[in-house]
Amino acid sequence: MFPTLNLLLAAWAAASAVAFGLFAFDKARARGGGRRLPERTLLLAALLGGPGAWLGQQLLRHKTRKQPFATWLGLAVIVNLAAAAAGVWLLR
C-alpha cells in the first residue's frame, strides 16, 4: 500500500471510532436524562466515519426506530462507504 492510502485508511478508522464514541455518549445521555447531541452532529459523524456510526446505532440500539433519522443515517453511511471506496480506488 502507498503511504497516502495508509493515511486515508487510518483517518477513516479514526473517524469511525469517533462516530461510535459519539453514539455511545448520546446513548448514555439519553439514559441519564442529560443534554443530548443534536442529530445533525451524529449525521455529520456518520458522513465522516460511517462504519462506526452504523455499529454504534446497531450495537447500542440507539435511534434505530426514530424516523427520518434512521433513513438519513443509512444514507450518510452509504455515502461514506462510497467515498472511501472511491478514495481507495483512486489511490491504489
Q: Is the per-residue pLDDT at 5 higher than 90? A: no
Q: Is 49 helix (H, G, I), strand (E, B) or coil?
A: coil
Residues 40, 69: Cα–Cα separation, whole Å: 9
- Helix orientation angle between 50-60 and 39-48, rounded to the nearest 10 degrees: 130
Over the stretch 39-70, which tens digit does the pLDDT of each residue have? 999 999 999 999 999 999 999 999 999 999 99
| Of 1-5, 14-18, 63-67, 78-82, the least confident | 1-5
* Model pLDDT, residue 51: 96
Q: What is the pTM of this model?
A: 0.92
**How is residue 33 written as a grid cell?**
436524562
pLDDT for 1 equals 56
What is the grid cell recorded at 90?
483512486
Task: Grade residue 33 by pLDDT with cuts at 50, 70 and 90.
Answer: very high
